[in-house]
Amino acid sequence: MSGMFAAVFIALFAAHQVGDHWVQTGCQAATKGLPGRPGRWACTKHVATLTATKAVLLALAAAVLDLHLTAAGLAIGLGVDAASHWWADRRTTLAALARAVDKTEFYDLGTPAHPNHPVTADGSYAPTLGTGAYSLDQSFHILWLFTAALIITAV
């Protein structure tokens, strides 16, 4: 069973990287955190394509590695992962969690909101891909990938 868990987790992790960075559209990334229906719809479309990516890679891994996964395990595991991903990607929710656990300074790292943000030679803000918000987002998703892999393997 430990080998199956490892294979499922690796497939989910690889699919997450592809789905969250390659499959997600620029529009979805830019608007999924907006308030109201437009933000919820963009986030829903992103999570739907992300979950489909995970299902495809899991199916491929199951076929090649002869993994015996159940429909119930897949439905529950991917459902829990999708719900957690949607919750975090609405952005205000993850920011609130960061505040609640005293991670606001880390959340703001790499942005103009952080007191020690990156600067250019002339002292203006220097944009960076390495933000605390992104790191907390991805680590939150990985926690739920782990949880989903446990569910998929155990059910």
Average pLDDT of span 75-82: 98
What gap in Å lies between CA 129 and CA 107, rounded to an integer? Answer: 13
pLDDT the model gives residue 60: 97
pLDDT the model gives residue 34: 93
Q: What is the pLDDT of residues 93-138, one digit of tens each?
A: 999 999 999 998 888 877 777 666 677 788 777 666 678 888 899 9
Please report, as a single letter, which amino acid is at residue 70: T
pLDDT the model gives residue 106: 82
Residues forming a β-bridge with 121? none
pLDDT the model gives residue 84: 97
pLDDT the model gives residue 128: 66
User: What's the N-to-C CA distance of the chain in angstroms?
Assistant: 11
Range of the domain at 118: 2-154
pLDDT the model gives residue 117: 67
pLDDT the model gives residue 130: 75
Sign of CA dihedral 150, 96, 102, 21: positive
State the total domains in the chain.
Answer: 1
Q: Are 86 and 60 in contact (CB under 8 A)?
A: no
Average pLDDT of span 135-142: 93
Q: What is the pLDDT of residues 11-68, one digit of tens each?
A: 999 999 999 999 999 999 999 999 999 999 999 999 999 999 999 999 999 999 999 9
Q: State yes or no: pLDDT of 152 exceeds 80.
A: yes
